[in-house]
Structure 1
Amino acid sequence: MYHINRDKRSIQSSEWIFEALLALTDEMDYEKISVTDIVNRAKVGRSTFYRNFDQKDDVFKFKCNQTCLRLREYLTDYQTQYDVPPGPASSKPFFTFWSSNTLLIEALIKINRIDILSDSYVEVLRQYYDDYTYLLDGIPSDYVEYVMAANVGSSIGVLVQWIKNNKRESPEDIAEIVMHQLLSNYNRLI
């Protein structure tokens, strides 16, 4: 778990710790990175690390949570500005946002911990559905967790594949691929 205070010093030191961990993942196996390695690279004390984080995974959890909250704000602003409804129509801004924020995902892919991003995205999606309850109209409450799991799994799965392919397609193109697939599946059901 992480415990970042809202004071400037705590926020700055947690950013240094993240940058240090990110750099270390390029140099050595994630399993071999110790808290000592991280604090030495970040030039902070062990007490600073443990004041903010319980373990090194928490550094990525914190950064994923922060990034997913920024994603939610970005999507909400985009939907308001361009009158785009929430849901599948938000694929383009989803991929546009991530096209500028790939370092985190690249690191998570490298260390085989994309689950950390998925967990953060579930929380943001849960808030999103709370704001736009009509998106779940007609879905029995027992099924909501499955709907979220399907949305997170497919969104993150496509995102990871896109990044593994070095973002060959533009955000617009990858959104079109996703929308085409969703519509094809929907039309087969009718």
Structure 2
Amino acid sequence: MYHISNDKRSFQSSEWIFEALGDLIIQKNYEEISITDIVNRANIGRSTFYRNFDHKEDVLRFKCDQKCMELKEFLFDYQNKNAVPPGPASTKPFFTYWSANSVVIELLIKVNRIDILNDSYADILKKYYDDNAYVLDEIPVKYVEYILAANVGSSIGVLVQWIKNGKRDSPDDLAEIVILQLMQNFYRLNF
């Protein structure tokens, strides 16, 4: 678990810790990275690490949660500025955001912990659905968790594949691919 207090020093030290862990992940096996390695690289005291985090995994979880919260705000801002309803129209800004913020996903892929991204995104998407309840008005309550799981799985799956492909496709291309797939699925269900 992480315990980042709402003060500037705590936030700054958590950033140094994340940067240190990221550098170490590039250089050696995740399993071989110790807390001592992280604090030495971040040039902080061990007590500073434990004031903010319990385990090295918590560093990744914190950064992932932080980026997913930023994503939620980014999508709300986009919808408000462009008068776009929630749903497929948010596909392009979703990929635009991750195109500029992919470092945490790249690290999670490298350490084989995409589950952290799945959990963070599922939490944010659930809050997004709660804030926009009308999006699911027509859906029976017993299906909502399945819809959430399908959206999380497909969104994260596309992001992971995009990174594995070297991020060669633009956010526009990714949005087009996903919307095309949604339309094909819709067409198959209705005809």
Q: Which TM-score tier does this pair reach, normalised by the shorter chain?
A: over 0.9
Unaligned runs of 5+ in 2: none
In the alignment, what sits opposite 2:138? Answer: 138
**Counterpart position of 1:97:** 97
Counterpart of 1:88 in structure 2 is 88
Displacement of 1:138? 2.2
1:145 CA drift (Å): 1.2
Aligned residues: 190
Please give the alpha-carbon distance, in whole angstroms, between the structure 2 residues aligned to 1:188 and 1:17. Answer: 48
CA distance in 2, matches of 1:145, 1:120: 15
Letter aligned with residue 152 of structure 1: V
Residues of 2 paired with 1:171 and 1:16: CA distance? 29
Q: What CA deviation, in whole Å up to 9, does each residue of 1:44-97 have, x standing for no partner?
A: 111111110010000011001110010001001111111111112211000000
Instruction: Name the counterpart of 1:106.
Output: 106
TM-score when normalising by structure 2 = 0.97
1: CA distance, partners of 2:41 / 2:4: 19
Partner of 1:74: 74
Q: Does 1:56 align with 2:56?
A: yes
Structure 1 segments, 4+ long, off by >2 Å, are: none
The farther-off stretch of 140-149 and 9-18 is 140-149
Q: Secondary structure at the match of 2:51?
A: helix
Partner of 2:34: 34
In the alignment, structure 1 residue 125 sits paired with structure 2 residue 106 = no
- Deviation at 1:158? 0.3
Deviation at 1:105, TM superposition (A): 0.7
Return the letter of the residue paired with 2:180: H
The one-letter code of the counterpart of 1:183 is M
User: How far did residue 40 of structure 1 move?
Assistant: 0.5
What residue is the counterpart of 1:164 in the other structure? Answer: 164
Paired AA for residue 149 in structure 1: A
TM-score, normalised with respect to structure 1: 0.98
Determine the C-alpha separation between the residues in 1 that align with 2:112 and 2:148.
22
- Inter-partner Cα distance in structure 2 for 1:148 and 1:46: 39
Letter in 2 for 1:7: D
SS at match of 1:23: helix
